[in-house]
Amino acid sequence: MIVKIGGGKMTIKIVLLGGSGFVGQGILEQLAKDPQFGITSISRSGGSLQLKEKFPQVKWLRADLQKQTPKWVEILADQDWVVDLLGVLLAKNQQAYQQLTIKPILPLVAAIKENRSVKMLFVSAQTAPRVLKNYLVTKRETEKILTEQLKTRAVFLYPSLIYHPQRQSTWILAQLLLFGQHLPLLGHYLAKWQPLSRQQFALEVKHVLLGGKSRLLQKSVTIY
């Protein structure tokens, strides 16, 4: 529920699933200090002491969605958006991906379906190498479920590799990809990959939550 704050401005209330994770922290850096947003973060850890001190404006809730179901009806009662950052990059097979990625959010989706004022922003993926085929297939299956259940209230973003110095592995890979795109022999192939800084991705999320457009609303269906 969008509510007025001092001076007549509006507050957009969001639930952030996975706010204490790598991507979630980037989104909090963009949104937490913006009075346009009221944020509840739900994660398995409930947020570290450092995060709670850094983002005192955020309401932190602890819940392991794979083991227990929060009282979604109560949590969503006055919210405008749910932003789903949950996902497992590596799992042993397709069934494991579904068990870890899709099954935990089904009670949440059912609650959103009943609460017609809430929208869901699902962070999917633009593409994936063949070794991560099951990861991408699971993302697409989740999109299908959300579209069937929530119709136009389900919104999807399709980032490629998200990087930040905080995570050296993705930072180094992103720099190699960006450098390789300028090489004659590799440039054409690597152009398929467009690494995105965590800060820029967070800005794209913010634009969408405020009703704006984003280039990440378009997807590719290719597995390389």
Report yes or no on 213 lying in a domain.
yes
- Count how many domains the chain has: 1
Report yes or no on 191 lying in a domain.
no
Report yes or no on 20 lying in a domain.
yes
Q: State how far the Cα of 198 lies from the Cα of 204, in Å rounded to an integer.
A: 10
Question: Residue 112, exposed/middle/buried by CB under 10 A (0-12, 13-18, 19+)?
Answer: buried
Containing structural domain, residue 32? 3-160+197-217
Report yes or no on 144 lying in a domain.
yes
| Three-class secondary structure of residue 4 per DSSP | strand
Report yes or no on 180 lying in a domain.
no
Q: State how far the Cα of 220 lies from the Cα of 224, in Å rounded to an integer.
A: 11
Are the beta carbons of 132 and 89 closer than 8 angstroms? yes
Q: State how far the Cα of 115 lies from the Cα of 117, in Å rounded to an integer.
A: 6
Report yes or no on 179 lying in a domain.
no
Report yes or no on 110 lying in a domain.
yes
pTM for the whole structure: 0.85
CATH number at residue 33: 3.40.50.720
Report yes or no on 127 lying in a domain.
yes
Q: What is the pLDDT along the chain (224 residues), one digit of tens a residue?
A: 555 445 545 789 999 998 888 889 999 999 998 999 999 999 888 888 999 999 999 999 988 776 667 788 888 888 999 999 887 767 777 777 777 778 888 888 998 998 888 999 999 988 777 777 888 888 899 999 999 999 999 999 999 878 777 776 776 776 676 666 666 766 566 666 678 888 999 999 999 999 998 888 887 655 44
The residues near 162 (Cβ < 8 Å, ≥ 6 apart) are 22, 23, 26, 170, 195, 196, 197, 198, 201
